[in-house]
Structure 1
Amino acid sequence: MDRTAGTAQAARTTGGPKGETTLAHADAPAGLSPLVPLPGGSFRMGSTEFYPDEAPAHEATVAAFEIEAHPVTNAQFAAFVAATGYVTVAERALDPADYPGVATEDLVPGALVFTPTTGPVDLADSQQWWRWRPGARWDAPHGPGTSVEGREDHPVVQVSFEDAQAYATWAGRSLPTEAEWEYAARGGLDGARFAWGDEHRPDGELLANHWQGSFPHRNTGAQGWVGTSPVGTFPANGYGLVDMTGNVWEWTTSYYTPDHAGRARSAAEVAAARAALTVEIPAYVLTGAAQDGPGEHPDRTSAGSGDAPDPRAAASAEPGSTIPRMVLKGGSHLCAPEYCLRYRPAARSPQAVDTATSHIGFRCVVRPPVAVAPAVAPVSARDLLG
């Protein structure tokens, strides 16, 4: 990929959660989302109030990082495609080896598109409102004849995990871990149900883009928007981040597990892991190894692990499949309280890495390297005595 295309000529500064500023990479492509610096720390991750895979609620710790203020937009993804010629997964023919039993004529480029039903249906059967649409892609999110014209400031959708990773690499950024994403989404409200507090609609105000009406057949629109809304239509959280819940689900680099059991580590254990470091290592490795264990990041391996297959990738796959699933966070415009009360920081959902849909997007993060004291050469008795 041509990393020089669209290069910014000067660094940008953006406001942080407490008025701080952050210096964007001087060689980053122009037009990237502003970064908001977060100090890192410990917080209560997960919940025991709603869905089983959110439990147990536990203490998690993340290192300092910066996160984009809003999801990547159609305009930003278009700039990436124009600069690199990138072809998304939805635009590529499907490999028969990955889909045994599927007719060859059905292995055509396309993606999943939400299609409202004509009336009430059994909410246990999601196949009633999801359709495979040949030709659906990021710039034709609902199939041939549709486009993103006039929706340049909406979050990009129909992007698979690989597509999101490719954009992040081009931008000189990364995708967040689940813990980083949830820490950011909470906006400093430790343990709150929603990104704005515990009340669903304080003073009757709608604070996120989620389904309005009777799912999946009648949607009256959120602030007038049926489907995605322009980023920032709804209020920012305490860190100044918009659309952390609602609008679109967002990819993370965490493999899906049926719950948080076995993944929670105390702040003391995290501190011990940091103290044990003897080489300079990026913050994402520290966070993943200390909190979530090996295999948290599919695009990276821990020091000394080599290129051996990660057992978490296989364990994350849906029964009967070999395709890994990652954690999605944040809920979307399709979440309805009676079906999917997941427009909350603790909520999570599994998604196969090869899948693109009309309600999944992403945002990126930047992590500083962990400062490690330089090695000190041994000192002899002669040196000490002068």
Structure 2
Amino acid sequence: MADSSSSEYDLAPPPSGSPSSKRPPSSKSADEGSAPPSQSSGPRQPPKPLPRLSRTAPPAEETDAEAPRPTGSGAPRTSRRDRNAERLARRKGAAVEEDDEPGTRTLATPTPTLDTVETRGRVRLILGIMAFVAVGLAIAMIVRAVGGGGSDMSDVYVIDSTQMFGPPTVNARDALPTTDPNDAEEAAQGLLGRARTALTIQLAHSYLQRIVDSYPDTQTAATAREALERIANRQPPFPDIPSLAPEVIVLAPAPEPAPDTVADRIVAPPPQPQPEPEPAPELVVRVLPNGFSPASGAEEDSSGWPSRIVCERDGMTMVLVPGGVYIMGRDGGPPSEGPAHRVELPPFYLDEHEVTVEQFARYRDALTQRGETVLPKPEELTRLGLTPRHPVVLTSAQEALRYAEWAGKSLPTEAQWEAAARGPEGLIRPWGAAPPPWPRQRTNRSIEPVRAYPADRSAAGLFDMAANAWEWTADWFEGGAYGDRARFVAYNPGGPDRPSSQPPRQTVRGSSPSHDLTYREGMPITTRLPYLGFRCALNVEGLPVAGAGPRLIQAPSSYTPGVPPTVPARPPQPQPPRPQPPANTGTLVPF
């Protein structure tokens, strides 16, 4: 018999009661007794899978007959592979005949693992479970689509027939009457849920109207009425569902009767466009810096700032100079005063008159207590015969800057000083081009008490701008500083960013021999003269820009001295950012 490890088929005994073979048994098999097939040494295990019958095995004596093996030490040894190949060759060469002899056995091939009865049963069970789950899900979806109006279906897209055929027309008589309040409330809640999940505003409107008509005494009906009112006001019926846009509702207007007379056929003129209402003025809250407060009787300017304020440190009254475009310099005068040009300034404050001896004494006392030396000394001013109402003189530019810092102010720029003196009309003198109007002659470089000449008062209300003491400004002096400003408007310009001479010279203004407000001169910063004083400024809407300032609009080519040029409208072009004033947390202006 062939070795079990190398055989191609497992041999299984033929089943009992199997029909006989179609061919009769051969004579050879009938005459010769067939020897029973040899059995293997170990017990044979029956195959577990169902046998697959393929062919009939040859008789055992033909299959298992082996040639006698030579024995002895001289006999050649053959390997198992050679023996198996020899057996296979004998089997293929042997004639296979089918018979029903008792000794004949049938060859069986092993059944694959996935083709067993147990595997087939498991596959049938899994397919049955999947079919049951699919049928259950289909039934649940159908039930929810048909009768699930009372649940929260805000996230479920439900196809409604009204989307194709329009909302149904429902009357009160079509509703089923009910006597149970709970049933009515539940039915109304179901309709309300459908209205909330409606895909169009028309469908939601029909559901809400049905609630009001069919269940008017329920609490849900009150909610439906509120939703209908919101729709009438062109608002979403449900504030939490903004997707229902009421703008899509188009109410068909009632048909107008046909005109019966000629007068009815007259077409009314088209409505005239109504002028747009002017916007309400913006509320502007102006806050003064610490240490400053509105003066008694001050009025409110159009910019929101009070017209007059008081500095608490030195008690000086300061006057508001409105923002705008001003003329600076002149043509036909000294080279250092030309050419005439325009500057734009934001609102700012300027001392009503020069700093007096009395106000300077407050500053001296405050700094002396800190151990600092202040010039001029009191005896110097006494030798000059100055009273407390006279302008303080013998002050250097450095001392004037220290005073302004102590009072919380600054020295004015040339543009600020000249704009406050000449006003928006660009006058060459505070009173115009006429000779001085004061009653007695004022000696040049003579010092008088402040406000002694009421005619020496500018349009802004500032005194002693044309006469009395010379005044320090914050700008470095340069004779040709106006040369590059002739054809442009500079915004809030300061002087040069560095001195152009040694020793450094600073510009002084006022008290010219002819009382012209365009007069300017440079003095070394350490100069102390008996007719040289100062006044201070307060910037509330931006600090001056060093240099010529941003150039904004081009000036006209021709200019008449003494006549302010017309300011053209600004072209729509981006402007450079303007410097902003520091944050103020001082007195709130009571306007």
Return the structure number with greater relative CO, CA threshold 8 A, min gap 6: 1
Structure 2 counterparts to residues 62-141 of structure 1, below 5 A = 62-85=345-368, 86-88=372-374, 91=375, 137=376, 139-141=378-380
CA distance in 2, matches of 1:172, 1:15: 21
CA distance in 2, matches of 1:16, 1:194: 26
- 1:146 matched residue in structure 2: 383
CA distance in 2, matches of 1:39, 1:360: 27
Q: Does the 8 A contact of 2:421 with 2:462 survive in 1?
A: yes
State the TM-score, normalized to the length of structure 2.
Answer: 0.38
Change (3 A) 1:46 1:233: same
Find the partner of 2:405 among 150, 165, 169.
169
Find the partner of 2:395 among 142, 147, 159.
159
Find the partner of 1:255 among 463, 476, 481.
476
Aligned residues: 249
Change (3 A) 1:178 1:353: same
Find the partner of 2:340 among 42, 48, 57.
57
- What CA deviation, in whole Å up to 9, does each residue of 1:232-254 have, x standing for no partner? 01122211110011101111011
* Structure with greater helix percent: 2
> Shift of residue 194 of structure 1?
1.1
- 2:465 matched residue in structure 1: 244
State whether structure 2 residue 433 is matched by structure 1 residue 198.
Answer: yes
- 1:328 matched residue in structure 2: 508
Q: Which has the larger radius of gyration?
A: 2
- What CA deviation, in whole Å up to 9, does each residue of 1:322-375 have, x standing for no partner? 3211110012xxx5xxxx33x2211101111011101111111111144989xx
- What CA deviation, in whole Å up to 9, does each residue of 1:72-93 have, x standing for no partner? 00000011101111424xx5xx
Q: Does the 8 A contact of 1:60 with 1:265 survive in 2?
A: no
Structure 2 counterparts to residues 18-33 of structure 1, below 5 A = 21-22=306-307, 24=309, 29-33=312-316
Q: Does the 8 A contact of 1:16 with 1:37 survive in 2?
A: no
- In structure 1, the residue corresponding to 2:483 is in which secondary structure? coil
Change (3 A) 1:348 1:210: farther
Change (3 A) 1:346 1:353: same
State whether structure 2 residue 325 is matched by structure 1 residue 42.
Answer: yes
Change (3 A) 1:12 1:83: farther
State whether structure 2 residue 537 is matched by structure 1 residue 365.
Answer: yes
Q: Does the 8 A contact of 1:14 with 1:35 survive in 2?
A: no
CA distance in 2, matches of 1:325, 1:208: 34
Q: Give the letter aligned to residue 509 of structure 2.
A: K
Q: Does the 8 A contact of 2:350 with 2:536 survive in 1?
A: yes
State whether structure 2 residue 493 is matched by structure 1 residue 288.
Answer: yes
Find the partner of 1:227 among 427, 446, 461.
446
Change (3 A) 1:83 1:367: same
> Shift of residue 44 of structure 1?
1.6
- What CA deviation, in whole Å up to 9, does each residue of 1:55-107 have, x standing for no partner? 1111122221011100000000011101111424xx5xxxxxxxxxxxxxxxx
Q: Give the letter aligned to residue 232 of structure 1.
A: R
Alignment gaps of 5+ in structure 1: 1-6, 92-136, 213-225, 271-286, 296-311, 374-386
Find the partner of 2:425 among 161, 166, 189.
189
Change (3 A) 1:61 1:266: farther
- In structure 2, the residue corresponding to 1:244 is in which secondary structure? coil
CA distance in 2, matches of 1:182, 1:166: 23
CA distance in 1, matches of 2:441, 2:345: 28
Change (3 A) 1:206 1:22: closer
- In structure 1, the residue corresponding to 2:421 is in which secondary structure? helix
- What CA deviation, in whole Å up to 9, does each residue of 1:188-239 have, x standing for no partner? 331x2212101123xxx32898427xxxxxxxxxxxxx93111001122211
Aligned-residue identity in percent: 27
- In structure 2, the residue corresponding to 1:345 is in which secondary structure? coil
CA distance in 1, matches of 2:373, 2:397: 13
Q: Does the 8 A contact of 2:298 with 2:309 survive in 1?
A: no
CA distance in 2, matches of 1:83, 1:15: 29
State the TM-score, normalized to the length of structure 1.
Answer: 0.57
Change (3 A) 1:16 1:351: farther
Q: Does the 8 A contact of 1:194 with 1:200 survive in 2?
A: no
- In structure 2, the residue corresponding to 1:21 is in which secondary structure? coil
- 1:281 matched residue in structure 2: none
Change (3 A) 1:42 1:268: same
> Shift of residue 48 of structure 1?
2.4
Alignment gaps of 5+ in structure 2: 1-289, 544-576, 579-591
CA distance in 2, matches of 1:325, 1:206: 33
Q: Give the letter aligned to residue 161 of structure 1.
A: A
Q: Give the letter aligned to residue 139 of structure 1.
A: P
CA distance in 2, matches of 1:259, 1:351: 16
Shifted more, 175-184 versus 43-52: the winner is 43-52
Q: Does the 8 A contact of 1:141 with 1:358 survive in 2?
A: no
Q: Give the letter aligned to residue 350 of structure 1.
A: G
CA distance in 1, matches of 2:440, 2:420: 16
- In structure 1, the residue corresponding to 2:359 is in which secondary structure? helix
- In structure 1, the residue corresponding to 2:378 is in which secondary structure? coil
Shifted more, 235-244 versus 15-24: the winner is 15-24
> Shift of residue 177 of structure 1?
0.2
CA distance in 1, matches of 2:440, 2:464: 7
Change (3 A) 1:230 1:34: same
Q: What is the RMSD of the two structures over their aligned residues, measured on CA atoms?
A: 3.2
CA distance in 1, matches of 2:318, 2:440: 21
Q: Give the letter aligned to residue 233 of structure 1.
A: A
